[in-house]
Structure 1
Amino acid sequence: MADGLNPPQREAVNTLSGPMLVLAGAGTGKTRVVTYRIANLIRNRIKPERILAVTFTRKAAGEMQERAASLLPKSRRKADSPQPEISTFHALCVKILRRHAPQLGYPELFSICDRGEQESVARSALREIRAPADSLKPSDLLGYIGRWKMGSISPRQAMGLGETDREHLAAAAYRRYQKTLKDRGVMDFDDLLLLTEELFTKFPEVRHQEANRFDHVLIDEYQDTNHSQYEIVRGLASGHRNLCVVGDDDQSIYGWRGAEVSHILRFAKDWPEAKVVRLEDNYRSSGSIIDLANTLIAFNSERHDKVLRAARHEGPKPRILQFKDEQEEALQVVQDIRRLMGMGRGAKDFAILFRTNEQPRAFETELRAAKLPYVLIGGMSFFDRREVRDILAFLKLVADPTDDPAVLRVLNTPPRGLGDAARKSLVSEAAARGLPIWGMIENPTGVTGLSKAALEGVLKLRGMVESWHEMAERMSVADLLTRIVDDTNYQAEIARLYEDPNDRDSRWAVVEEITNAAANYDTKKKSRKKDTRKRILTFLDDLLVGNQDESRDKEKQLSQNAIALMTLHSAKGLEFPFVYLVGMEEGILPHKRSLEGGETQIAEERRLAYVGVTRAQDELTMTMALTRRKWGKPRETIPSRFLFEMTGQAENFVKRKQAAESPKGPTKRSGRGARARRG
């Protein structure tokens, strides 16, 4: 077990009891330590099924499972052998809630809503409280609700926290939104964490029951935990206290979505007997890049004391390039990449990292002009695509015909004579009778306002769903999905909507991908459960919860031989031989919002810059524009304070900033050439 491990890694792997914090700096072999430790626990006669390992993405969980299994003897790798439970936080919480949801007033077979359903419920909630049309959009309301839920704030608490009219309006709508979800037996993704925390708080016997399933708990990326995840971990590990958390406070960059860096900073206070192991040998980046990263992050005062050491050669010094404007910045970066590709480097060796979603436009323009292949990471999620939402709505309808959002989504998809008038008639009649919309489809004869064509459409939909429900008792999920696609003639619907053959093919491939996912599920589960609803809902859990982090889409995009364009947040966990960290200016990095939030937010922006720097393996180039257009007019910029910090000129930043903000106006700087300064 010690092969290939350095002394601190070996210490972390061989410490098998009690609480332990493994501070794993960038590129220090964190995944190796976690997987070796799981394998070592099993080798030391800890029953695999008594080990729980939790991470944040399905991809990371899958890799962890495979690597740990490869370290065990062949006898332990058999498919029917007990395995450690390795999953994401959301997947773990789904399993817990499936066992105990009725105690919170939810059905055991609750469903999980996607973004489209969330927006539908949010829209209804805003209508119910009669919010003015221009006051709050459904997407804005969901932003408020998401932030409250990530902070473990209930609708009642949100009402007391509101300071502005907009916040009070959002809090009132939050209460309606949550009531609607509960009445329908539905949870959103944030509920999976929030309700598990509530379950553990209100029902100690449930917390003990779930904690007693495991003797060892490992948590990856601990610096990214929010309040609910923190409380769930404490609940699961406080009895046996065999808790190992792995993470790096210097890479805590998700404060905007509820992550609290304080969790990893105060671990030794929460668990006084904890051992702390520091992994400081970086195997990713050259020495000159690591020196720069260490210099930068040392400006954060609230952090664990650690310094990365490069295990590689010194390498070229990182460059700092200044350009006349953002167009020149993009042009010169692309020309530099083209030069290196001409020397034999592949397109996938390069990454252009930026802070804001507006920055890549100029780079895309220049990459297209240069005819260089590129991919913009983080586009539309697989699960936001129309085809996916349609097909999954049909499947939800088989599992639960009372799912109103699913009914409304497929009511006239593909068209069957059920337009807006028919939809309004069905919804109004259902509301008047206090029934789900499906109740009107089961017995449409009493619904007023339905034309003959609409009635035929209702009967056709009812007949199909009833036949699918019957088939589901004897079919695999993949076969059922194929039948749904055939019966609805969905391929013809794609042909009707999209004229371009390439567009049709790509959208049809999406439908095929859903069926492939169902086939993989059927193979993994092997046996067919008799409970149709439970089987389909389990598949939907596997599909929706397992992929809500969008890691699969990112992995597929990165597999292409193309230059990667992505935000710094998306780049975490990745590495590239050549990295261009662009837009290093005040107001971009650090972002303008953080400038108003005090040192805590500046510290997170500094960690974000640190993440960007440590993505580079061989060469790092940081760029800035001397002017950048705002509303069509060029405005002079201030270089990012992080550039001054990295170059040992931090005191000069204050002078430069004071001069730029003086009543006389910004200082003049030379912008004649593409490269005004090289550092």
Structure 2
Amino acid sequence: MGVLSRRVRPEDWKPVGVAALEANALDVVRATDHRSVIAGPGAGKTELLAQRAAYLLQTGASPAPRRILAISFKRDAATNLAARVRQRCHRSHAQRFDSMTFDAFAKGLVDRFGQALPKRWRPRPDYDIMFPGDRDYRVFLYQQVGAPPASVGTYADLQTISVKTFERRYLVGSPLPVDGLWNPTPAQWAADRFWQMSLHEGRKSVLSFPMIGRLAELLLRVNPMARDALRLTYSHLFMDEFQDTTQIQYDLVRTIFLGTNTVITAVGDNKQQIMRWAMAMDDPFTAFDGDFGAKRTSLYNNYRSSPELVRIQHVLAQALDARAVAPVSKTAGTIAGDSCAIWDFSTPEIEAKRLAAFVATEMKTHTLGPRDFVLLVRQKANEYAAVLEPAFVAAGIPLRNEAGMVGSIALQDLLVEAASELIVAVLRLAMTAPAGRHWTVCQEALNTLRGVAPDDEVAQARLAQELDAYVLKLSATHPNPPKSKVVSRSIVDNILGFVGRERVIAVHPAYGQGGWLEKVLDSAAEHLLMSSVGDIEWPSALDTYEGTHATPLMTIHKSKGLEYHSVIFVGLDDGAWWSFSNDQIEATAGFFVAFTRAKQRVVFTYCAQRGTRTKIATLYQLLKKAGVKSIHVA
């Protein structure tokens, strides 16, 4: 279990579980000042933060009972970081490490202290979560809100507000004024009406996550005791994927921690900013360095990609940032032939067949599994899957559209939901042998959910007995995977009943409102049933649930933070990249993200039947500049 719980002297501390860190990374790990860390693809951002946590906890630089807060953007990133800290630290240390998403952090604050907000901004305690889009804002502005008071403007003024920028600029664009605005513009008046209707005029309050972020910031501005409690709790703050920080999130962090002794480490890559459409700031690193006096540090090693891929990546990187420094590949090339090529096909059907044959051959040649490959698309994954899936199945490789919906949740999102992971862990323990690894996962999850202290051995032993008895009963009741939705749902509910529904909600705040937990459980039951088709046993059904033996198909956005031996990017054409000219920087960053998922090989495919390639000529020029060849595949 890593280092014991005793304290290590800073000068004696060594990186845990890795051979070595590059000099700049070690410098950040031991830093006592604010740092903004620019870390390119494959630089080991998660590892850097895990090592920093181990150093701070094991040397007492973060002294008990103070804690470390790590904020990520994606749930899986938050989970991965927490898991890595648990691997590197004694449990008594690891449990002082809180890893969560920004949304969960803000929501936790509103749920705990929201009733102390001024009346005009106070949601009802059982509020619902909404995910409004352009269409909702259009209906609101043009149908629901009505005409403003004459002193503000006219109905015609409201018609000139852009639906696209209403949320970003007016609804959540700046910190909330405690008493409202005295002399609002028509757009500010409309935004305030949206707030007041959402908070006070329905059967329940309904809030979006950006609105919750703004309420959390206001809450801490008007409630110094809550703000001071956070400052005292957290000695250090880590922010991951910092390039995607929104103004809302940045303002919240600034309100809590600016001018305090909490030390902040912000890590990200300005060349991988692909969330500008979702309100990411233009340049959060410069704002952070200016406000907090942070020291900018770059990491230069790439532990993921081969030297040839790293060379091509650098050509793309320079298109995004002229000052980009060439990274150093720390991985050997292991394949023959081109590391990168563009394949031209005459029809999508031929493309599908040839790609399936290519993956099958590569798997044999390099002893790889289906999940060592990924098929990436820009959007509309379902349309590509319809043609690709039959060809892959015919070649003996299951292809799985991870962007596809299961109930009301995308499959890839369902798999990283805490409730889904818990259900699978318990089923693996009950239904598969040997169960060693699953035993540890279940035991640790239960300890956390039931609030058992790391040194309470009696309570831990009691919990272990309870778990043993439960999985024996579960495997006896359900010796085979479910054949109906009723049975599948009863298994899911049974497991949740055992671990404790209320405890799951207490530990994962997102499940507390708006029926989200119910949606996750229903999708998990649906997916479990779909994974149990045919005459198969539990281990195979659970493998299918997790996609262990299938090649994933996903969008670029969903691939961020993942890595594969080979990346096949399907559809490098104007049709897929129709919005390229609207925001060339973000589109090129998306292209960079897709390319940098690969360890050994990248294949781009083009098929004239899907569209031309004039709008995205810049991307082709970049590849040509890097020496990437185009091959016509008959």
After TM superposition, the score normalised by the length of structure 1 is 0.63
One-letter code of the match for 1:246?
V
Structure 2: unaligned runs, 5 residues or longer: 1-13, 148-161, 411-480, 528-542
Correspondence for 1:41 among 31, 56, 60:
56
Q: Kindly provide the amino acid, as one letter, of the partner of residue 313 in structure 2.
A: A
User: What CA distance in whole angstroms lies between the structure 2 residues aligned with 1:646 and 1:535?
Assistant: 47
Per-residue CA distance 1:347-369 (angstroms, 9 max, x = gap): 22221111121444432343345
Paired residue for 2:598? 616
Partner of 2:30: 14
Match of residue 271, structure 1, among 292, 297, 301? 292
CA contact (8 A) 1:56 1:88 kept: yes
Paired residues for 1:52-63 under 5 Å: 52-63=69-80
Distance 1:54 1:551 in 2: 27
Match of 1:367 in 2: 392
SS state of the match for residue 617, structure 1?
A: strand
Classify the secondary structure of the residue corresponding to 2:233. coil
**Alignment partners' CA distance in 2, 1:294 and 1:535:** 42
Residue by residue, what CA displacement relative to the aligned partner does 1:403-439 show, whole Å, maximum 9, x if unpaired?
xxxxxxxxxxxxxxxxxxxxxxxxxxxxxxxxxxxxx
Letter of the structure 2 residue corresponding to residue 615 of structure 1? R
- The secondary structure found in structure 2 opposite 1:232 is helix
Give 1:645's match in structure 2, choosing from 603, 622, 628: 622
Residue identity matched to 2:249: Q
The DSSP-based 3-state class of the residue aligned with 1:592 is coil
Name the counterpart of 2:217. 197
Aligned pairs for 1:496-645 within 5 A: 505-506=484-485, 508-510=487-489, 512-513=491-492, 516-517=495-496, 519-521=498-500, 540=512, 544=516, 559-586=547-574, 588=576, 591-595=577-581, 597=582, 601-628=583-610, 640-645=617-622
What does residue 255 of structure 1 align with? 276
Deviation at 1:260, TM superposition (A): 2.0
1:674 equivalent to 2:633? Answer yes
Shift of 1:543: 8.8
Check whether the contact 1:331–1:366 (CA below 8 A) recurs between aligned residues: yes
> How far off its partner does 1:144 sit?
6.3
C-alpha separation in 2, matches of 1:508 and 1:122: 43
Does 2:134 correspond to 1:112?
no
- Asked whether the equivalents of residues 326 and 362 of structure 1 are also in contact (C-alpha less than 8 Å), the reply is yes
Q: Aligned letter for 1:641?
A: T
Given the superposition, is the C-alpha separation of residues 150 and 314 from structure 1 closer, same or farther in structure 2, using an over 3 Å criterion?
farther
* Contact residue 112 and residue 186 of structure 1 kept, 8 A: yes
Equivalent residue, structure 2, for 1:336? 358
**Whole-angstrom distance in 2 between the partners of 1:14 and 1:217:** 14
2:368 matched to which residue of 1? 345
- Structure 1, residues 212-256: CA drift from partner, whole Å, max 9, x if none? 332211111111211111111112221225111111111111111
The Cα shift of 1:300 comes to 1.6
Quote the Cα distance in structure 2 between the aligned partners of 1:185 and 1:142.
Answer: 24
Distance in structure 2 (CA, Å) of the matches to 1:291 and 1:520: 49
Amino acid in structure 2 at the alignment position of 1:245 = A
Q: Is the CA contact 1:98–1:108 (under 8 Å) kept in the aligned structure 2?
A: no
Q: Helix, strand or coil: the match of 2:572?
A: coil
Partner of 1:356: 379
1:89 Cα deviation after fit? 1.4
Q: SS in structure 1 opposite 2:610?
A: strand
CA distance in 1: counterparts of 2:409 and 2:126, whole angstroms: 21
Q: CA deviation at 1:119?
A: 10
Shift of 1:38: 1.2
Contact 1:581–1:620 (8 Å) recurs in 2: yes
Conserved? CA contact 1:225–1:260, under 8 Å? yes
| Equivalent position of 1:460 in the other structure | none
User: Is the 1:18–1:241 contact (alpha carbons within 8 Å) kept by the matching residues of 2?
Assistant: no
Residue pair 1:200, 1:207 contacting (<8 A) in 2 also: yes
In structure 2, distance between residues paired with 1:74 and 1:49: 15
Q: Which amino acid aligns with 2:374?
A: A
- Residue of structure 1 equivalent to 2:419: none
Confirm or deny: 8 A CA contact 1:54 1:87 kept in the other structure. yes
| 1:74 CA displacement | 6.1
> Who is 1:396 aligned against?
none
Shift of 1:311: 0.5
State yes or no: 1:89 paired with 2:102: yes
Q: Which position in structure 1 is the counterpart of 2:82?
A: 65
Q: SS of the residue aligned with 1:594? A: coil
Match in the other structure for 1:308: 327
The farther-off stretch of 361-370 and 147-156 is: 147-156
Distance 2:136 2:608 in 1: 45
CA distance in 2, matches of 1:204, 1:237: 12
Q: Contact 1:149–1:190 at 8 Å: present in 2 too?
A: no
Q: Distance in 1 between matches of 2:65 and 2:403?
A: 36
226, 234, 239: which one pairs with 1:219?
Answer: 239
Q: Which one is further off, 280-289 or 355-364?
A: 355-364
Q: Is 2:129–2:513's contact at 8 Å kept on the other side of the alignment?
A: no
Q: TM-score, normalised by structure 2?
A: 0.67
Aligned-residue offset at 1:175:
5.1
Alpha-carbon spacing, 1:628–1:305, altered in 2? closer, same or farther (3 Å): closer
Find the aligned partners of 1:205 and 1:351 in 2 and give their Cα distance.
49
- 2:318 is matched with which residue? 298
| Partners of 1:223 and 1:252 within 8 A in 2 | yes
Q: Which amino acid in the other structure matches residue 602 of structure 1?
A: Q
Q: CA deviation at 1:195?
A: 1.2
Question: May I ask how many residue pairs the two structures share in their alignment?
Answer: 502
Q: Which residue of 1 aligns with 2:346?
A: 324
Q: In 2, are the aligned partners of 1:558 and 1:564 still within 8 Å (CA)?
A: no
CA separation in 1, counterparts of 2:222 and 2:263?
24
Offset, 1:278: 1.7
Report the CA distance shift for 1:256/1:118 in structure 2 as closer, same or farther (over 3 A).
Answer: closer
Corresponding residue of 1:377? 402
Higher deviation after alignment, 337-346 or 234-243: 337-346
CA distance in 1, matches of 2:523, 2:295: 32
Deviations 1:464-522 (A, max 9, x none): xxxxxxxxxxxxxxxxxxxxxxxxxxxxxxxxxxxxxx997256525643553454355
Cα RMSD, aligned residues only: 4.6
Shift of 1:263: 0.4
**Matched ranges for 1:420-435 at <5 A:** none
Percent identity for Structure 1 against Structure 2:
22
Cα distance change on mapping 1:535 and 1:321 into 2, 3 Å: closer
| Aligned equivalents of 1:547, 1:253: Cα separation in 2 | 28
Counterparts of 2:364 and 2:172 in 1: how far apart (Å)?
A: 47
Q: 1:587 to 1:211 in 2, by over 3 A?
A: farther
Deviation at 1:611, TM superposition (A): 0.9
Alpha-carbon offset, residue 141 of structure 1 = 8.4
Whether the aligned pair in 1 keeps the contact of 2:123 and 2:200 (CA below 8 Å) is no
Deviations, residues 276-299 of structure 1 (Å, cap 9, x unaligned): 222221111111111111111101
Distance 1:518 1:146 in 2: 41
